[in-house]
Structure 1
Amino acid sequence: MLSLPSTRTWRRLTVWLHVLTSVGWMALAASLAVLLALAAADPAARASAVLAAHHLDAVLLAPLATGSALTGIVLAAATPYGLFHHWWVTVKFGITLVQLYLGIFVLSGMLDGARVAPASAPPAALLTTTLLMVSAIAFQAWVSIAKPWGRTPWTPGRPKPGTGPRWMFAAACAAVVVDLAVGFVLGAPMPVAAVAVLPAVLIGVRARRSGDPGRAPGPERTRATRSLPGR
């Protein structure tokens, strides 16, 4: 009889997808910076460079950013790390929220404006925002490796949380694939799967920990500490 992949397997797939989407996010942000710098420096290439930047942002960068954020949050919330137990995880979480806000409400809007007015050079803030995004992702990668700053003041006396069930990691993996496919087909970001999965996972994590607050980590939880969100 065919058995379903274990929680450990799904968690590893989630780690793999997190690394893949994070690297893709940074690569696409760097590509946007190059295209925007070209648009600012060469009026003859301006229209095509801005159009290419806008297309990459809509079709790939936005879904990759959403996928990276979703898998990172799930890997923190549904494992013994938690979102607010270690400063390095909490800082990464905060930076990710700021990046998503800037990307969705600032960068994409400015790219739309630059696309409809190709005769004018892209605003300097557009290139600056893109470079800040690249720098922030690079900083988050360092934080994932160094794990600085220790534990937060909210952790003393609390039992270490356990690893979430298989469905949380499987749902996160499926959401990334679905949102990437939808974005590619529609030519515009449409993170419907991520929006549906993330609240379900967070509610599930909270319900499990509220229902069994003193549960000690078992073998699966011990193994979970070896896989790090953001690596």
Structure 2
Amino acid sequence: MAKRWRQLTVWLHILTSVGWMAQAMTLCVLLSVGLATDDAVVRDAATAMALRVDGRLVGPMADASAFTGIMLAAATPWGFFRHWWVLVKFGITVVQLYLGIFVLSRVLEDSVTAGPSAAQVVGTGLMASAIAFQGWLSVAKPWGTVRGRPRVAGGTGPKWVFVATVLGGLADLVLAFVVGHPLPLLSLVLLVVGLSRRPRWAGARATRPVRA
């Protein structure tokens, strides 16, 4: 059962990552339509829909994808800083979350009245491309281990970590869809709890890395 819940966590991470990428592509298309048209009605409708998609879909999917990815790194022998592909994925995720929350969302609010810009189209296209690149990293796992990191892999977290990740991630997704904007309450609590408890299992030797 522990293995089954770990697999469900991987499934939820893949599902939300693909959803995040698809919705970023949707934003790119909507903003492209608003930028290309001379019809004010079409432009306003496209930018208003982009703002709605960002709040109801992109934000929740991004939060859930980041949450499940961090929990998988924390609760499996891959860790955060042992392998270059995990470290690069983690860095890209942090940058994307920052840009999405503090830059893109605010700019989309302004574009409802001012109209979309070419920078917004390029930015959302790059967001989708970066997520696709992260998918490739998960499959190829290139570049080996980070120099200086211990060769012995850490342990795998207990069953409750994966159960809480799946149920908490799904609960926050449902809550976000209901209220109309991201509200990762359970995810943040579980991140704090999971990361604080990580040293208890991280020192256990794993027989082999678990695919994340």
Compute the TM-score of the two structures, normalised by the length of structure 2. Answer: 0.94
Q: CA deviation at 1:10?
A: 0.8
SS at match of 1:98: helix
The reply to whether residue 188 of structure 1 matches residue 181 of structure 2 is yes
Separation in structure 2 between the aligned mates of residue 82 and residue 41 of structure 1, nearest angstrom:
45
Q: Is the 8 A contact 1:43 1:121 kept in 2?
A: no
The reply to whether residue 12 of structure 1 matches residue 1 of structure 2 is no
Alignment partner, residue 147 of structure 2: 153
Runs of 4+ that moved beyond 6 A: none
The reply to whether residue 59 of structure 1 matches residue 52 of structure 2 is no
Q: CA deviation at 1:78?
A: 0.6
AA aligned opposite 1:103: G
Alignment match of 1:133 (pick from 122, 127, 132): 127
Q: CA deviation at 1:121?
A: 2.8
The reply to whether residue 33 of structure 1 matches residue 22 of structure 2 is no
The 1:32/1:70 distance shift into structure 2, 3 A limit, reads same
Q: Is the 8 A contact 2:155 2:201 kept in 1?
A: no
Q: CA deviation at 1:170?
A: 1.1
- Which blocks of at least 5 consecutive residues in structure 1 are unaligned? 1-5
Alignment match of 2:206 (pick from 217, 220, 224): 217
Alignment partner, residue 3 of structure 1: none
Alignment partner, residue 98 of structure 1: 95
Separation in structure 2 between the aligned mates of residue 207 and residue 112 of structure 1, nearest angstrom:
44
Separation in structure 2 between the aligned mates of residue 16 and residue 50 of structure 1, nearest angstrom:
32
* Aligned pairs, number: 210
Separation in structure 1 between the aligned mates of residue 102 and residue 205 of structure 2, nearest angstrom:
42
Identity fraction in percent:
48
Q: CA deviation at 1:43?
A: 3.4
Separation in structure 2 between the aligned mates of residue 41 and residue 121 of structure 1, nearest angstrom:
11
Q: CA deviation at 1:142?
A: 1.1
SS at match of 1:47: helix
The reply to whether residue 201 of structure 1 matches residue 194 of structure 2 is yes
The reply to whether residue 123 of structure 1 matches residue 120 of structure 2 is no
Separation in structure 2 between the aligned mates of residue 43 and residue 105 of structure 1, nearest angstrom:
29
Separation in structure 2 between the aligned mates of residue 50 and residue 175 of structure 1, nearest angstrom:
32
Q: Is the 8 A contact 2:67 2:187 kept in 1?
A: yes
The reply to whether residue 76 of structure 1 matches residue 73 of structure 2 is yes
1:164-199 deviation line (CA, Å, top 9, x unaligned): 011111111112211111111111111111111111
Separation in structure 2 between the aligned mates of residue 216 and residue 41 of structure 1, nearest angstrom:
57
Deviates more, 1:22-31 or 1:165-174: 165-174
Deviates more, 1:171-180 or 1:95-104: 171-180
AA aligned opposite 1:216: R
CA RMSD across the alignment = 1.4
Alignment partner, residue 172 of structure 2: 179
- Which blocks of at least 5 consecutive residues in structure 2 are unaligned? none
The reply to whether residue 48 of structure 1 matches residue 37 of structure 2 is no
